[in-house]
Structure 1
Amino acid sequence: MTAHLVARLAVVDDHPVVAEGIRRILEEHAPGVTWVGVATSYAGLLDALREWDPLPDVVLYDLDLRDGSTTEEGIAQLHARGVTVVICTGEFRPIPIRDAVHAGAMGVMLKGDPPERMVDVISSAAAGDFAVSGDVAHLLISDEALTPKLAPREIEVLQLLASGIPRKVIGKRMSPPVAETTVITYFKRAVQKYRDLGRQVETPQDAVRAAVHDGFLRPIE
């Protein structure tokens, strides 16, 4: 049963058509919602926060604005002003979703979820209760078997490899620098952690692809 929702709401999403679709869904399924507006970038959000008066109660935040910002930055700005954040995403990479939850997002809903579930999540978050829109969102947040626990240095070597840095040079590019043998050790650990989960990862390049898939690394352009 869909919760009765009365709240001021805004969206941060770099696809205006998506925001318009959400607005229409809420008009139909949550007539108590007051539509505040849309920001299509982190910079746009900062501008909007100076203009929105009063501020929204809840902001639906997309995970990847493709403007160089992080979701954590946006959540911090909104939290500083007492605004509740709900992640609204078509993203199925576990790590970005978990990072947003750790940063303080009060809910997660997938863009393909039924409208009633979306409204329920927004309502729960507005009331101060963490909520997800379904089993898939719950698994992405909580199932530890989906991703390995990569150490920061393991992620760093994978990121450098993904950016095209030759393996023999990677150690010199790390901060602080390490020996080539240490880089090899980091690669082996990352590969083994994926293999321990039953993933088909045999080489450092395989580990890079898996890390992109999981969200440890940004998609390779």
Structure 2
Amino acid sequence: MDSEPEPVRVVIVDDDQLVRMALRLVIDGEPDLTIVAEAADGDAAIGAVDEHRPDVVLMDVRMPGRDGLSATRELLTRPVPPRVLVLTTFDSDDLVLGALRAGALGFVLKDTPPARIVDAVRTVAAGNPVLSPAATARVIAAATGPDSARTRNSAREAARKRLSTLTERELDTARAVADGLGNPEIAERLHISVATVKAHIGNLFAKLTLENRVQIALLIRDADD
């Protein structure tokens, strides 16, 4: 008889004890998820991850001491990093964008219904991005809001230089990823097999030194800005 799969191991990082308690109640109530540790700031989060080796870190952004962005960057340098799901109230859109660029797989709002938070944890644990529609709109607004032309031009040129290393088919694949398409949809759009799509995406990660599809989408956005 096959044994039951191990539950997804989760670390909660938030400086608000009530938020941590609420998340623990929601997540620990699921048979396939378990909370292995809590942390109130970025430094404690790094220690908890190193000790408990979780699959997913549910990471607040603004915290006293080391913030969630800095902690995310540090955690994602680990040989086997956890998957990071950013938790935010959206008083810090710039930090959320930074976390996504650093390799976080997505973000949820703190007022997201509990069932959707649970689904987001499962999705991230499976290696797939979670981009709430409302949150995505806010991040896009932050990314395209008032900024110096010099800064935007610099980001655009840097992104285009990185993308110039791709073949035409790899670039088409990257744009399809940025459009939010899954592998079967990309295969249909480009008239290629799903196996070829997977090979192209593997090449994108290697050539662009990226970890996930969210980073690909952000790079395409920078190049087209």
Q: Do they superpose with TM above 0.5?
A: yes
Gaps of 5+ in 2: 1-5, 152-225
Instruction: Tell me: CA distance 1:38–1:147, structure 2 relative to 1, closer, same or farther (3 Å).
Output: same
Name the residue aligned to 1:107: 106
Name the residue aligned to 1:141: 139
User: In the alignment, which of 70, 73, 80 is matched to residue 73 of structure 1?
Assistant: 70
Instruction: Tell me: CA distance 1:38–1:116, structure 2 relative to 1, closer, same or farther (3 Å).
Output: same
Query: In 2, Cα distance between the equivalents of 1:25 and 1:138?
Result: 24
Count residues with an aligned counterpart. Answer: 145
Name the residue aligned to 1:211: none
Query: In 2, Cα distance between the equivalents of 1:135 and 1:86?
Result: 15
Name the residue aligned to 1:40: 40
Deviations 1:37-69 (A, max 9, x none): 1111222123323432xx1100000001121x2
Instruction: Tell me: CA distance 1:18–1:151, structure 2 relative to 1, closer, same or farther (3 Å).
Output: farther
Identity among equivalent positions (%) equals: 28
SS at match of 1:14: coil
Instruction: Tell me: CA distance 1:152–1:97, structure 2 relative to 1, closer, same or farther (3 Å).
Output: farther
* 2:121 maps to amino acid: I
Query: In 2, Cα distance between the equivalents of 1:141 and 1:97?
Result: 8
Deviations 1:75-109 (A, max 9, x none): 12322142110001223432121111111110100
Gaps of 5+ in 1: 154-221
TM-score by length of 2: 0.57
Coordinate RMSD, CA, aligned: 2.5
2:18 matched to 1:17? yes
Q: Are the equivalent residues in 1 in contact too, given 2:43–2:71 (CA < 8 A)?
A: no
Name the residue aligned to 2:87: 88
Matches within 5 A, 1:1-221: 6-28=7-29, 30-52=30-52, 55-67=53-65, 69-79=66-76, 80=78, 81-132=80-131, 134-143=132-141, 147-150=145-148
Name the residue aligned to 1:174: none
TM-score by length of 1: 0.58
* 1:123 maps to amino acid: R
Query: In 2, Cα distance between the equivalents of 1:103 and 1:152?
Result: 22
Deviations 1:136-179 (A, max 9, x none): 111122346862234688xxxxxxxxxxxxxxxxxxxxxxxxxx
Instruction: Tell me: CA distance 1:120–1:75, structure 2 relative to 1, closer, same or farther (3 Å).
Output: same
Once the two structures are overlaid, the 10-residue window that deviates more, 122-131 or 88-97, is 88-97
Q: Greater helix percent: which structure?
A: 2
Once the two structures are overlaid, the 10-residue window that deviates more, 106-115 or 40-49, is 40-49
